[in-house]
Amino acid sequence: MGNVFSQKPLKEIVRENQRMLKKSIRELEKEIRTLETNEKKLIADIKKHAKLNQMGAVKIMAKDLVRTRNYITRFIEMKTHLNAVSLKMQTIKSHDAMATAMKGVTKALTQMNKKINLPGLQKIMAEFMKENEKADITAEMIGDTLDDAMEEEGSAEEEDLIVGQVLDELGVNMSQETPSAPIGNVGKQEAKADEAQESAVSDLEARLQKLK
């Protein structure tokens, strides 16, 4: 025959036991206070009868006083033990809460790992690296183009203006003193610069083609 009553969860069991322990501790505290009151009364009565030289009554009340003090000591010890048990129950409750939390976290991690498609994630990372490299190359090409445009725009006029100012300060007539530059050499230098620029652009375009 199976169990008729369903098993209670550990949290509920701990709560019920702690409730009973607290009730027992309160009852012990009440008894200790009653005994301490009786102890004070007995001491007062012993002093009273001793003054009246009633030693028989004094001896009987002295035994009762010793007995009362022993009970107070025992009840205090019982209260201490019950407090220790209550702390133990609280520790069990904390451990159960921690185990429940760990179980929930483990379940969540298991579900997350099942949903993650590792091959798909690796593919996404590879595509990201590829597109990121393409973006870097494109940015480099745009930057080189802008640098060339900014260098050509107004640079010759600015250079002539600066040279003219320097020569004016030196008192040199540019048309008389400045020797004419060899046109042939300048043309060759410009051609070489154009070839280098075209080579750099071609290299960037080739890298982009490989990434497609």
For the beta carbon of residue 195, count every other beta carbon within 10 angstroms.
10
Position 181 scores a pLDDT of 46
Q: How far apart are CA 69 and CA 183, in angstroms?
A: 124
Q: How far apart are CA 47 and CA 52, in angstroms?
A: 9
Position 192 scores a pLDDT of 57
Position 190 scores a pLDDT of 54
Per DSSP, the three-state class of 9 is coil
pLDDT tens track, the chain, 212 positions:
444 445 777 778 888 888 898 999 999 999 999 999 999 998 898 888 888 888 888 888 899 889 999 999 999 999 999 999 888 888 888 888 888 888 888 888 888 877 777 777 788 888 888 888 878 888 777 777 766 665 555 556 666 676 667 667 666 554 544 454 444 444 555 555 556 556 666 666 666 566 66
Position 27 scores a pLDDT of 93
Position 30 scores a pLDDT of 94
Position 1 scores a pLDDT of 43
C-alpha distances in angstroms, 50 versus 38, 54, 66?
A: 18, 6, 17
Q: How far apart are CA 145 and CA 141, in angstroms?
A: 6
Cα dihedral 179, 184, 187, 188, rounded to 10, equals -120
Give yes or no for a contact between 141 and 201, defined as CB atoms under 8 angstroms apart: yes
Q: How far apart are CA 42 and CA 66, in angstroms?
A: 10
Q: How far apart are CA 100 and CA 117, in angstroms?
A: 28
Position 108 scores a pLDDT of 84
Give yes or no for a contact between 90 and 15, defined as CB atoms under 8 angstroms apart: no
